[in-house]
Structure formats: C-alpha cells, structure tokens
C-alpha cells in the first residue's frame, strides 16, 4: 500500500490544491494512506483538459470500433491486476475480499459491454419526399462530469466511464473522499488502453468544494450522479443553472413481496444477497420484506438464521464466496444505522436479531432483522443503507402492492411466487424502475437500471444508458 495517492488530470498525476486527507480502513479505524484533495482550480484544469479532447476531435474522429477496443482494454487491465485492486478496494471500503473481486469483474464487464456497443450508435434516414435527403446523427455531449459514491467505487465509475467514452465523450470523475484509492486503477487502465490524454480525469475532493465546482462548471455538458436524494437535488439544481442534462441514480427503500406459495428455501439466499451484501450499503438493497401473514413468523425465523450464520469481521479475512460480511464504510455510517434501529424500537418495532454496534474495533454493525414494523415507521420509509432488514406482514395482494408503493422511492422491487399471473400483475402495478421475480438482483449489465419518484431519473446499464451520453442532430438537405 503506497502512503500517498494523487489525482489524475490530463494523463498526469497531480497534487491537490485542498491539501491531503487520510483514508481510513473501516475494519480497524487506522489510516491507510493519504489522498490528494482537489480544489476548484484542479477541477477547472481537468474540465479544460476534457474540453480540449472533445473540441480537437481526437476521440470522436476515431472509428467507433477503435474507440470501443480501447474501452474494452480498460476492463482487461482491471482483470489482469484483480488481486492488487481487490485488496486496495477491501482495505478502503470494508467489503469482503471476495465481494471486491466480484466488483472488479463487474467493472470489467461494463468496459467489455460498452466497448462492444460503441459501433452500434447509428442515426436514421427520414423520408421527406422528392428533393430532400434527411437523416439523424448521434453525437456525444462532450464533457461528462461524473460524481461517484463510496459503496461501489470501481463498478459505478466503470459503468459511467465506459458508456461515456464509448459514445465519444471525455470524462471528469470526482470520487468519494472515503474510497478514492481504488479509482487510481481506472486512471492506470486508461493509460494502458492508450486513450488520448485528457479523455479520463479522476480526482478526489470534498463534495462542497470539488464536487460543487465540477457540477456547476460551465465547461461540462452532462452530469451523472449516484448517491443520496439530498445531494442529487443539489446537483440537479447546479446543472439546471447551466441547462445541463443529468442522470441521477438516487436512494431506494425497495420491497420484496413474499406470497404464501414462495420457495422459502431459495428465498434465504435472496435475503443473504439482498440485504447483507456490502453490509447493506446498496441502493437497490432488499431493505423491506413484505410477507403474507400466514408465513410471517417463519420468514422472521429464517431471516434471523441467515443473519446469525454470517461471519462478520475484516473483509481481507473473508476471501471465499459465502457467509462473510465486512464493516460499514465508516463509524459515522454505522452509528447512523444503529440510531435508526434504536428509533424504530422506541416506535414499537423489535430487533429480532442484531441491531447494535459490535464491541470490536472498526465500523461493524450486527446483521439485523426488525420485526413488528409498521409501514408508517421511519425504519420502513427511510433508507438505512446498512445491514438492516424490516419484515412487514400483509393480508392480500392489494395490500402488499399498497405497502410496497407507499414510500417516496421507486428504485427496484421484487415478487416471490410460483404464480406467474400474480407476478406479472404485480410487475405492472409496482412503481419501480426494475422488478425482480423470484430472484433478487436478477439481470445484469445488459438490463436498464434506474428509478421512479425520488429514486432519480435516467437509466444506467443496458442500451438505455448509452443513449444518455449522446444527443440527436438532424441534417436536412434540399437536393433540387
């Protein structure tokens, strides 16, 4: 582990005008390394470098297949250095080492997928009758400003960079101050792939300084953000001042509806993946289980068994896929989640298991299952962003849909039943951008992802995401 990490601007490593900040290992509370912190001047240099790339045509003049091959090469670099990158990611973020490896594989998959898509962006011919030729072109916006969260710093940055560059944009990426170190490997991947200098710029800085300077910069043409609703609103306002389009992937309070005919043995695996992956720090986590009242007690018991079987400790010691869970990203995040559990207990809910900070060094929270939760409680309405599952009973299908749709969010939802008609009815009525049937997190890089309501707008992943990075130009020619 190197002791000092710099920003990457215009294909060069650079210090930051805002000094340095310590990056903490959440499994121990010890400082891992120092990170250069960018200020507004650093942001301006990065944006200017990206603008030069766009205006020079050095990226857009390439044949799309050539650009796509460079995007794919970034993914291969990550895979070739997977062990080194995974250890850095685990040490700074906390997730088990096997989850870190999987995140790197997913990041590489984005580069593979969008690299393949680069030469599929085509316009169309529009018939206007004799004497005219009319057609459309899909052109990149220019400079894509991307603000990346700390929960999946490599994977989320990869999906934005890959789609942006494949479409011909230059990117300026602002990482989280909690997890900036692993993002340096994306910069190294860009260099290894041979991308023109200034195509990918990666810097870390405080949100109120570097983040605000980036999204309000008059030189950007598009903003992409994943994170909290509050920050997303601030970014949308800043972008609106410059009439810049946004893609916002915000929070969620996603519900799994478990009917009386569900396969509960299989559902135990969905609980493990849905709420305890990355210590519950997932926008699309299965944070609510709505279960038919006839199965309520059994599902509580099964969920407690899943939580109790988890081996909780430092991520670097959890190398094999299975039952391990690491710390939360920081003690502040852990304390916030624990406080929400305590508030729910005061409101009448019960921690069937877990719910407390663990009495060991690091930002560890016990895997938690909450019972006696009512739909109007804060624990059922607000995003915990931690390993806390709320279980709520329902009488019938109509009430289940009502409870599932009863929050301000609408990111994902799930239905667990052997009745396909019931599942498709629910899929039509659920207010969510993605609906899983009988498997939480079904889908992949190819499937569009994004929210309804306060979960944001625009789509990440899939073909739909690629279209976020281009705009349509019409060319009308009079031929006689």
Q: What is the mean pLDDT of each run of 10 residues along the chain (480 residues)?
A: 96 98 98 98 98 97 98 98 98 98 98 97 96 97 98 98 98 98 98 98 97 97 96 95 96 97 98 98 98 98 98 95 93 98 98 97 98 98 98 98 98 98 98 98 96 96 96 96
What pLDDT sits at residue 1? 87
Spatial strand order in the sheet of 388-394: 350-353, 368-371, 388-394, 288-292, 255-258, 412-416, 434-437
What pLDDT sits at residue 146? 98
Please report how many Cα atoms fall inside a 13 Å half-sphere around the Cα of residue 367, on the Cβ side: 24
Name 170's bridge partners: 143
Q: 4-249 maps to which CATH number? A: 3.40.605.10
What pLDDT sits at residue 6? 98
Tell me if residue 283 is catalytic. Answer: yes
Give CA separation, 28 vs 315, 371, 450, in Å: 11, 31, 34
The answer to whether 257 touches 414, Cβ cutoff 8 Å, is yes
CA 440-444-447 angle, 5° bins: 100
Secondary structure of 18-39 in the HEC alphabet?
A: CCEEEEECCCCCCEEEEEECCC
Q: How far apart are CA 396 and CA 422, in angstroms?
A: 11
What pLDDT sits at residue 323? 76
The reported pTM is 0.96
Options 92, 103, 177, 249, the catalytic residue: 249
What pLDDT sits at residue 405? 98
The answer to whether 471 touches 454, Cβ cutoff 8 Å, is no
Q: How far apart are CA 165 and CA 114, in angstroms?
A: 9
Task: Tell how strand 222-226 and strand 12-14 pair up.
Answer: unpaired
The CATH 3.40.309.10 domain(s) of the chain lie at 255-444
Tell me if residue 249 is catalytic. Answer: yes
Total residue count of the chain as it appears in this document: 480
Dihedral sign from CA coordinates of 397, 388, 235, 50: negative
Options 171, 204, 246, 283, the catalytic residue: 283
The answer to whether 238 touches 215, Cβ cutoff 8 Å, is yes
Count Cβ atoms within 10 A of the Cβ of residue 370 and give its class: 0-12 exposed, 13-18 middle, 19 or more buried.
Answer: buried
What pLDDT sits at residue 322? 83
Q: Cα 333 to the chain's mean position, in Å?
A: 17
CATH superfamily of 255-444: Aldehyde Dehydrogenase; Chain A, domain 2 (3.40.309.10)
Q: How far apart are CA 248 and CA 259, in angstroms?
A: 32
The CATH 3.40.605.10 domain(s) of the chain lie at 4-249
What pLDDT sits at residue 37? 98
- Joined tokens for residue 248: 């916002």
């Amino acid at each position: 582990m190197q002791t000092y990490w710099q920003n990457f601007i215009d294909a060069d490593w650079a210090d930051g005008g805002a000094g340095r900040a310590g990056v903490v290992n959440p499994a121990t509370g010890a400082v891992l390394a120092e990170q250069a912190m960018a200020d507004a001047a650093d942001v301006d240099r990065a944006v200017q470098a990206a603008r030069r790339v766009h205006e020079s045509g050095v990226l857009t003049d390439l044949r799309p297949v050539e650009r796509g091959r460079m995007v794919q090469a970034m993914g291969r670099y990550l895979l070739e250095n997977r062990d080194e990158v995974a250890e850095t990611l685990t040490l700074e973020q906390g997730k088990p080492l096997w989850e870190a490896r999987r995140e790197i594989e997913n990041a590489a998959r984005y580069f593979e997928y969008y690299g393949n898509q680069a030469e599929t962006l085509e316009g169309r011919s529009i018939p206007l009758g004799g004497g005219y030729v009319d057609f459309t072109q899909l052109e990149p916006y220019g400079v894509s400003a991307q603000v990346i969260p700390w929960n999946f710093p490599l994977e989320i940055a990869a999906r934005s960079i890959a789609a942006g560059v494949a479409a011909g944009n230059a990117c300026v990426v602002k990482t989280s101050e909690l997890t900036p170190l692993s993002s340096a490997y994306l910069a190294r991947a860009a260099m290894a792939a041979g991308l023109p200098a200034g195509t990918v710029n990666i810097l870390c800085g405080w949100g109120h300084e570097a983040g605000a300077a980036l999204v309000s910069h008059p030189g950007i043409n598009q903003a992409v953000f994943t994170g909290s609703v509050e920050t997303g609103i601030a970014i949308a306002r800043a972008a609106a001042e410059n009439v810049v389009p946004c893609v916002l992937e915000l929070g969620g309070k996603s519900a799994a509806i478990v009917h009386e005919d569900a396969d509960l043995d299989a559902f135990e695996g969905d609980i493990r993946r849905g709420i305890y992956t990355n210590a519950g720090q997932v926008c699309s986590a299965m944070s609510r289980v709505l279960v038919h009242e006839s199965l309520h007690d059994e599902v509580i018991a099964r969920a407690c068994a899943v939580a109790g079987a988890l081996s909780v400790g430092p991520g670097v010691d959890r190398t094999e896929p299975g039952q391990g869970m690491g710390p939360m990203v920081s003690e502040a995040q852990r304390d916030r989640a624990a406080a929400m559990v305590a508030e729910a207990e005061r409101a009448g809910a019960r921690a069937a298991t877990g719910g407390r900070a663990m009495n060991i060094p690091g930002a560890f929270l016990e895997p938690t299952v909450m019972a006696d939760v009512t739909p109007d409680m804060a624990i059922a309405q607000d995003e915990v962003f931690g390993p806390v599952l709320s279980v709520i009973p329902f009488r019938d299908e109509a009430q289940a849909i009502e409870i599932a749709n009863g929050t301000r969010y609408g990111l994902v939802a799930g239905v667990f039943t052997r009745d396909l008609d019931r599942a498709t009815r629910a899929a039509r009525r659920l207010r969510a951008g993605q609906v899983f049937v009988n498997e939480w997190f079904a889908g992949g890089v190819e499937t569009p992802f994004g929210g309804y309501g306060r979960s944001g707008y625009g789509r990440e992943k899939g073909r739909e995401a690629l279209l976020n990075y281009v705009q349509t130009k019409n060319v009308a020619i009079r031929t006689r």
